[in-house]
Amino acid sequence: MKYADVVLPVPVDKSFTYSIPGQIRGIVRRGYRVLVPLGKGYRIGYVIGTANEKLDIPTRSIVDIVEPFPAFTEEIMSLSEWVAKYYLAPLGLVLKSALPASVHIESEITLHLISIPERKLNSIEKKIVNSLSNRTKLSLSELRKLVNKPNLNFNLQALIDNGYIEKTIRKKEKIKPHIEKHITVSPDVKKTPIEEIIHTHLKRKSKRRELFEFLYAHPDRNFPLTRISAEYGDSAYRGLLSKNLARVVPVEVQRMPTDGWLEEEKQDFTLTSHQKKALERITESIDSERSETFLLFGISGSGKTEIYLRTMENVLAKGRSVLILVPEISLTPQLWGRLRARFGENVAVWHSQMPDSQRYDIWRSIRKGKTRIVLGARSAVFAPLDNLGLIIVDEEHEPSYKQEEPRPYYNARDIAIVRGKLAKATVILGSATPSVESFYNAQIGKYTLLRLPERVPGSKLPNVTIVDMKVERENKNFDSFSASLKEKI
């Protein structure tokens, strides 16, 4: 492909055409992020298409790709195009919002003085040359601070055009993967009987020998060096390294947002007749591998969450992934506890209040296919899950699913339904008080209505006592709380 259509994260509803340089011509395709020139600067853009047809107009060239794989799956690209069209938003801004802020990359221009000009220089050119002659290289922003003069760009470009200064554009990442040192048994040692190694290198009982026996017993695993050092001591692992019995390997470790969250104990429930009917109907849809949207209308305590979990088990058993949306970030720890108890470590949390480093790690884990369950608030609707089989929108009536600031504006519930159609996935909208539009869509047959009219055995609502605050005032209680409430507290 010789040319690429690129959209930029700017409030302009159009694409820009760039030529693809030879070294990346066989790589660039739809979904890639690229570094491109725009005006006098450089921006990160998103490739929405490529073409071979020769253009009659001059084009500027793509500088480089951001990563060696597409940042967006074809499903997310199609979904973003629908969002842009439906909500009248520039596609570049939609694609930007589909990525966590920590993944965004900036460009940086660095300058290097190749030779001192022999011609006469004006005052601004002299300042530029003097500033660069004292440093190996400078970024453009650093040079601006040192020179602090108008018309810097014009004079700088003249020096670049005449070959006195070299300009380099590089990608500047906000966050990088967290790499830890791990230790594992050396590959050659795995093939040798342990008795022979101990007889040759580790005759005397020691911490070093204990560590080797531990590593040898787990040949396909590696362990954090900090943990090994704490348990066996530095001299133990260093001794193994010096004898080539073990080696240190760099391992990318995910920074977790769930530290301190409590994991619930796994519980077995007997389904009610209404739960069984609802689950059977949803299972039928999943087995047919067609997209269908269900409105699970169940009163509080009717067991909607258990239906979610059992449906997830079915979908995961088929090798597909699951997306669960909740309206509030504060609801994620409780549901995460139940998911973790049922499905183990393969559960990622995604929301806008997480530290950038954690969102970056989770995005990479999802993009690499290592994570198959994502739980999060409305921004998680763009999580790049592959082979998506189930989308659950809990409390679908909540207005907090609407993104109102910043642009683009959207309703994550509606996007989830469209994404389900694109992925041929089942969508479950759960609520005890469905929204008017969802209930109407169920009434006209657009969605399938499933009712849970009864609470599960053992699920009781708390007793409610109505207190007349006028009587409290008559009894000289002018507090915001009634006397009976303060007594119970």
145 and 190 inside one domain:
no
What pLDDT score was predicted for residue 91?
95
What pLDDT score was predicted for residue 119?
78
Q: What CATH number does the domain containing 131 carry?
A: 1.10.10.10
What pLDDT score was predicted for residue 256?
63
CA angle at residue 284 from 281 to 285, to 5 degrees?
95
95 and 134 inside one domain:
no
Q: Is residue 318 part of a domain?
A: yes
99 and 135 inside one domain:
no
DSSP 38: E
Which pLDDT band, with edges at 50, 70 and 90, does 440 fall under? very high
Indicate if the pLDDT at residue 220 is higher than 70: yes
Counting the structural domains of the chain, the total is 4
Over residues 116-142, the pLDDT tens digits come to 887 788 888 888 888 888 777 777 777
Instruction: Give the Cβ contact number of residue 351 at 10 Å.
Output: 19
What pLDDT score was predicted for residue 259?
52
344 and 440 inside one domain:
yes
Indicate if the pLDDT at residue 389 is higher than 90: yes
Query: What is the distance between the alpha carbons of residues 310 and 279, in angstroms, rounded to a whole number?
Result: 8
Q: Is residue 480 part of a domain?
A: no
350 and 437 inside one domain:
yes
40 and 168 inside one domain:
no
What pLDDT score was predicted for residue 105?
67
Mean pLDDT of 287-316: 91
Over residues 48-99, the pLDDT tens digits come to 999 888 777 888 888 888 888 888 999 999 999 999 999 999 999 999 988 8
The residue from 74, 104, 134 where one domain ends is 104
123 residue type, one letter:
S
The residue from 252, 287, 305 where one domain ends is 252
Which pLDDT band, with edges at 50, 70 and 90, does 150 fall under? low
The residue from 220, 252, 284 where one domain ends is 252
Instruction: Give the Cβ contact number of residue 93 at 10 Å.
Output: 22
Cis peptide before 434 (omega within 30 of 0): no
What pLDDT score was predicted for residue 174?
64
Q: CA dist 399 to 119, 374, 396, 435, Å?
A: 67, 21, 8, 9
158 and 211 inside one domain:
no
| CB-based burial label for 383 (10 Å; 0-12, 13-18, 19+) | buried
Q: Are 127 and 84 spatial neighbours (Cβ–Cβ below 8 Å)?
A: no
115 and 192 inside one domain:
no
21 and 95 inside one domain:
yes
Taking alpha carbons only, the member of 379, 370, 396 closest to residue 449 is: 396
Range of the domain at 9: 3-104
The whole-model pTM stands at 0.72
Which pLDDT band, with edges at 50, 70 and 90, does 46 fall under? very high
74 and 125 inside one domain:
no
The shares of helix, strand and coil residues in the chain, as percent rounded to the nearest 5, are: 40, 20, 40
337 and 426 inside one domain:
yes
Greatest mean pLDDT among 145-159, 202-216, 400-414, 417-431 lies in 417-431
300 and 448 inside one domain:
yes
At 249, phi and psi to the nearest 5? -125, 140
173 - beta bridge partners? Answer: 105
Q: Is residue 468 part of a domain?
A: no
Mean pLDDT of 299-306: 86
What pLDDT score was predicted for residue 266?
59
